[in-house]
Amino acid sequence: DQQVKQNSPSLSVQEGRISILNCDYTNSMFDYFLWYKKYPAEGPTFLISISSIKDKNEDGRFTVFLNKSAKHLSLHIVPSQPGDSAVYFCAASAKTAGNKLTFGGGTRVLVKP
Amino acid sequence: GAGVSQSPSNKVTEKGKDVELRCDPISGHTALYWYRQSLGQGLEFLIYFQGNSAPDKSGLPSDRFSAERTGGSVSTLTIQRTQQEDSAVYLCASSLAARGAYNEQFFGPGTRLTVL
């Protein structure tokens, strides 16, 4: 039973355009959501997060939107840059579960120059 | 400053052998997590340590898997009688105390385990 799903395994976008990554979850106990970025042979690095009490969080080129009623979140990267090419993981956490992360399957993003 | 380190970076073993994977968390981080990423999959939670509390072992896939955290710092993940389906990248993460507000988890580079 996958509690966090990323339905698009890959995404290709032109440099300078917007990348939109989507994530759906099923567990209503999740109260914190994160996006991690992963390059090959490296561990995931934290990108941006959002608490369940908010519906938007912005950090530079990265914005995360949360729709609690739809149990859906998305990551917008604008403008996309070639260095953004990586695998992006959506993750969710519940305070009641000690902050262990439940990850989606990842979306591989390729930004073409 | 030093991040989370893991050793070895790569481990190839034969089916049926035992393996030990090591994680050195960031100094001062009291929470430590183990995850694994199988080929083409997302990261899967295995086990979580928080200070002196009993670890949360709810993600361990079988009793062949165990982990220790000595002195509240270094952790060792042990897989006994390895099977081919154990092949994966094993990732360790650490964070400040996981109480109340979420604290960011910092990941190590992982250990790639291949069971032949």
Tokens of B61: 């896939």
| Contact predicate A33/A91, CB 8 Å | yes
Rg (CA), chain B: 14
- The structural domains of chain B, with segments of one domain joined by +, span 5-96
Do the bridges between strand A45-51 and strand B111-115 make them parallel or antiparallel, or are there none, so unpaired? Answer: unpaired
The residue in chain A having the minimum alpha-carbon distance to the alpha carbon of residue B103 is A99
Q: Write the pLDDT tens digit of every residue in B58-104.
A: 999 999 999 999 887 999 999 999 999 999 999 999 998 766 567 78
Residue numbers in B near A93 (CB within 8 A): 102
- What 8-state DSSP symbol labels residue B2? -
Site from A45, A99, A102, A108 to mutate, B interface, most B CB atoms within 10 angstroms: A99
Interacting residues of A101 by C-beta distance below 8 A, sequence separation 6+: A34, A91, A92, A93, B33, B35, B43, B45, B105
Side by side, the strands of the sheet bearing A19-25 are A4-5, A19-25, A72-77, A62-67, A56-59
Q: Which residues in B lie closer than 8 A to residue A100 (C-beta atoms)? A: 33, 45, 48, 56, 59
Chain A residues touching residue B44 (CB < 8 angstroms): 103
Domain B5-96, classified CATH 2.60.40.10, yes or no: yes
Summarised one tens digit per residue, pLDDT across range A47-104 is 999 999 999 999 999 999 999 999 999 999 999 999 999 999 999 998 877 778 999 9
Q: How many CA atoms lie within 13 A of A24 on its CB side?
A: 8
Decide if A4 and B42 are in contact by the 8 Å CB cutoff: yes
Indicate the pLDDT class of residue B1, thresholds 50, 70 and 90: low
3-class SS of residue B21: strand
Domain ranges of chain A: 4-112
Phi, psi of B49 (to 5 degrees): -115, 135
CATH 3.80.10.10 fits A4-112, yes or no: no
pLDDT at B64: 97
Instruction: Determine the Cα–Cα distance for residues A68 and B70; give it in Å rounded to an integer.
Output: 40
